[in-house]
Amino acid sequence: MRRTALLVSAALLTGLLPLASASAAAGADDPPSVPVDAFEGEVPFANPPAEGLFAWGGDADDLPQLALTARADAPEGAKVLTGTYDISGYGGFTHDFAFAQPAHDWSAHKGIRFWWDGQNNGKTIPFEIKDGGANGEASELWRTSFTDDFTGWKQIEIPFTDFIYRTDYQPVGGIDQILGLTEMWGYAIQLPVGIKGQFAIDDVELYGTADQSLRASVITDSAVYPVAEGRKAAVKVSVTTTGAVPIGEPVTIAYQSDGGTAQPGKDFVQVQGSITFPAGTASGTSRTISVATLKDKSGESAETIPLKLTVTGAKAPAETPQVVIDAHGLPYLDPKLSVKKRVADLVSRLSLEEKAGQMTQAERGAIGSGGDIATYALGSLLSGGGSTPTPNTAEAWAKMIDSFQLRAQVTRFQIPLIYGVDAVHGHNNLVGATVMPHNIGIGATRDPQLAEETGEVTAAEVRATGIPWTFAPCVCVTRDERWGRSYESFGEDPALVESMETIIQGLQGRANGKDLSDSDKVLATAKHFVGDGGTEYGSSTSGSYTIDQGITKVTEQELEAVHLSPYQDAVDRGIGSVMPSYSSLDILGDDVGPVKMHANAAMINGVLKDEMDFDGFVISDWDGINQIPGDYTSDVRTSVNAGMDMVMVPYAYKDFHTTLISEVNAGRISEQRVDDAVSRILTQKFKLGLFEQPYADTSGASDIGSPEHRAVARKAAAESQVLLKNAGGVLPLKKSQKVYVAGSNADDIGNQTGGWTITWQGSSGAITEGTTILEGMRKASPGATISYSKDASAPTTGYDVGVVVVGETPYAEGVGDVGNGNDLELTPADKAAVDKVCGAMKCVVLTVSGRPQLIGDRLGDIDALVASWLPGTEGDGVADALYGKRPFTGQLPVTWPKSESQLPINVGDASYDPQFPYGWGLTTLTKAPSGGTATLAALALAAKIADKTGSTTAGRAAVTKARLLVQQKIGTTTITPAVAKPFADADHLLLTGSYAAAVAKLKEAYQAA
């Protein structure tokens, strides 16, 4: 699943906005305009925090080229701002005011205008102004647009009343989502995408005089007022002003109950009247309008009472408030009935339009304040990666989601929304939440109980912000570490993946779903069905991706043994939803060829729902149906008929809703298929208790990021550390040692948490709360000498040991594919740091990464090597292992290759010659037993007895001791293929419960060492 506010296309954004008004010139009675930009050179080309004009874009190719150009036809002065552009992603230019100077006050003016040299290209061009916040890069963005459908210079006039708050952009601090105009930081223009063009602009200025209707507004405390039948609704009406000054003129509000589905005299007492706020009334003053409802004895669906407000002297509310008489007395509302009966009753009452709404999921950034939730009877919303409220706090999340849930109360049957997020390693979109190691690190722990505990913490923190659903866990089996999503997998062995699926119980509770309504549980999603971890390198056709979203080519036997088995386990554990993969599946020998999983009826309907008996619902990936061959109508028809129950159409929810209805009416999608989909969705909503409690239960919010939760993440980080080499026992470190720390990932919380952290792709730097590895080391050894030099440029003399923390910077999905600007090599800076430190002293190298790093050419110079994976926010856990507070016990969840050319390389391969085999991991917990071959023989006998008696504890103990014997014998010598293959096979056999066979393989490895 993917989504980021920064990468939303211009076409999607501008499609939501009205065209700006345009006029040739201001009226004769207007006061003189106030210049913002004359483009004569008075404002330089400069980047923030200085004042200046600057270009921006999705990548280097998207940046427009700006120049101040002398033109005889300039509307003002001698020069205009010109530019050329060829944008594939997004791009434009900005004028930011200086951060060190006070913001500008535009509140006295009617609007902003400028001259634009029209190219008549028909493109809609967004224009933004920056309001409030700390500076121009931390302000609210308010957007409107104009259309370039003319030729030559034309003055574009935009009243400030035309601007709409940009909900997909999350500013930081001092934000109220009110266009105050008293603290303005500049403007920006986004240029057209998909054409090669040029532009010219001149004379940006403020014009006109603001009237009170701009500076004063009438607002209601809500847009929706649900009320039980027979009760009174209280509609609070307030007058507010820019700058919170008293109103200068009277404001009158005439109100009247008008229209709606409720009947006056039968369902409510009709209301009519007026309220006047006299001149001098303080901003924020309120009055209340009471609407009385009437009670009868019949069961009814919800009924609406719109309250029409006519405002004089101020800006009216953006929408008409509605009182809603709650649905009542209907069987589906009775919690004493079985879920099955409640679902059947509700489905029988729904119209096709309402059913289509339940099957539709939209992105929260696309629906503005949420009016379309009721218009389209939407069943679900999501936040993609980085789509967060402002500010990004637990309280703001709960408030935002509650506001959306309130909108659903306007619908006839008041079906609550199910809100979903990608909480893939903790509540990773929320600043300050506990961020766990990514799944690859959890797989390294080999600790199913701990995996379940990480799920419990994640569920508790997610549900406490009002979110009942996570798009996790990924139960893919990663077979090629060139894949940019490989860190989302628990490992390359399906047996390992299945053992870690205890996380599902941590998220959901008991397999029967009885715990889902608890305030600390969420619905989980097994993804991505099926084979996403097995895509062939070079098979992707998605942009510049090389392997993600490509084609998985397998035999029927390979499909079942490797990729399907984790899904059967997830179904047996009661997983509530399943998400198909973007990738295609090509089953060799069936003569069908590659089939997109979003269109694969044989796998979704046939295997998942029929053979595996999955009774939850299938949710598509982000805009996933658009990757199905054919037009949009066929995409909808094919995906729904293939078994898609809910379709994630982030910005195309209107089109999907309309198309689905049309296809059903045309008979190309059966009503039975729709009823099945809606029944599956509603079943999970009832299990979650959303009909009884649709709003956030924030009682657990104080535990978000708590010491208790972070302790679980810290333990997971410690147990995920895999000790690959430890020559001379350099680890664990001693607190008395003087330590020299270097490397790009030693002191970077963003790098150690990786992708899917705060934003979709993640980012380097202090992006959330937590402890870096360097900070953890300093806390673990107070008073000790620990020096840090990121690039190892500081003198290296006088230290006992060096710790170099290197690896990757964050990425997600195909953006991280090898070949898409990435490889498995360390950066030149990291290589230099390793060489300098390891050349000067004993050294420990930690690789903080989502996959193995190619380090073999330096392995001889490194005393200790640790695979740290992406440990999350708790760098203390890494320090715990380094200093011996917790032992190294982690084991490789994937094979560590010698070179990129070996990939793919996996346990069970006929040819297997890795740097370190699957399952490898030295330990500082206990010493290997003595006795060599004789001890192995005794362990083989113990394992055989364990097989017969079904003693898991005894069997695992025997295999573990045999494993230690092999690793001890190998020491620091090169691991040969004759050793690596049986060693890796033994770990797979251990996970499948074949203890005697595992010891036999380890005996083979021991003899070959």
Half-sphere exposure of 747 (CA within 13 A, CB side): 14
- Listed in sequence order, the residues at least 6 apart from 719 whose beta carbon sits closer than 8 Å to its beta carbon are 444, 445, 447, 450, 877, 886, 889, 890
Neighbours of 399 (CB within 10 A): 15
Task: Quote the CA–CA distance of 69 and 66 in Å, as a whole number.
Answer: 9
Task: Quote the CA–CA distance of 540 and 537 in Å, as a whole number.
Answer: 8
Determine contact, residues 147/216, Cβ cutoff 8 Å.
Answer: no
What is the β-pairing status of strands 739-742 and 786-789? Answer: parallel
Which 3-state string (H, E, C) describes 43-99?
Answer: CCECCCCCCEEEEEECCHHHCCEEEEEECCCCCCCCEEEEEEEECCCCEEEEEECCC
Phi, psi values for residue 330, rounded to 5°: -100, 150
Phi, psi values for residue 51, rounded to 5°: -70, 140
Task: Quote the CA–CA distance of 328 and 334 in Å, as a whole number.
Answer: 9
Catalytic residue among 813, 830, 880, 985: 813
The length of the chain, given as a count of residues: 1009
Closest alpha carbon to 37 in 109, 112, 111: 112
Q: What are the angstrom distances between the C-alpha of 904 and each of 26, 483, 594, 898, 985? A: 67, 10, 20, 11, 17
Task: Quote the CA–CA distance of 378 and 716 in Å, as a whole number.
Answer: 38
Cis upstream peptide for 887 (omega within 30°): no
Task: Quote the CA–CA distance of 400 and 168 in Å, as a whole number.
Answer: 13
Q: What is the DSSP string of 681-722?
A: HHHHHHHTTTTT--S--GGGGGGTT-HHHHHHHHHHHHHH-E
Catalytic residue among 128, 621, 808, 817: 621
- Listed in sequence order, the residues at least 6 apart from 348 whose beta carbon sits closer than 8 Å to its beta carbon are none
CA pseudo-torsion sign 739, 745, 750, 751: negative
Long-range contacts of the stretch 97-103 (C-beta < 8 A, 24+): 97/51, 97/136, 97/184, 97/185, 97/186, 98/49, 98/50, 98/51, 99/48, 99/49, 99/50, 99/134, 99/135, 99/136, 100/49, 101/51, 103/182, 103/183, 103/184, 103/185
Q: What is the DSSP string of 962-997?
A: HHHHHHHHHTTS---HHHHHHHHHHHHHHHTT-HHH
Which 3-state string (H, E, C) describes 341-400?
Answer: HHHHHHHHHCCHHHHHHHCEEEEHHHCCCCHHHHHCCCCEEEECCCCCCCCCCHHHHHHH
Task: Quote the CA–CA distance of 639 and 611 in Å, as a whole number.
Answer: 19
Determine contact, residues 285/251, Cβ cutoff 8 Å.
Answer: no
**Which pair of tokens denotes residue 579?**
């998400």
Task: Quote the CA–CA distance of 726 and 551 in Å, as a whole number.
Answer: 40
Task: Quote the CA–CA distance of 170 and 388 in Å, as a whole number.
Answer: 7
Question: Looking at this protein, which amino acid is placed at residue 578?
Answer: V
Q: What burial class does residue 438 get, using C-beta atoms within 10 Å of its C-beta: 0-12 exposed, 13-18 middle, 19+ buried?
A: buried
621 counts as catalytic: yes
**Which pair of tokens denotes residue 144?**
């409107």
**Which pair of tokens denotes residue 643?**
């078994």
Q: Give the end-to-end CA distance of the chain in Å, rounded to a whole number.
A: 44
Q: What is the DSSP string of 474-488?
A: B------TTSTTGGG
Determine contact, residues 482/903, Cβ cutoff 8 Å.
Answer: yes
Closest alpha carbon to 943 in 981, 983, 997, 1003: 997
Which residues are identified as catalytic?
Answer: 621, 813
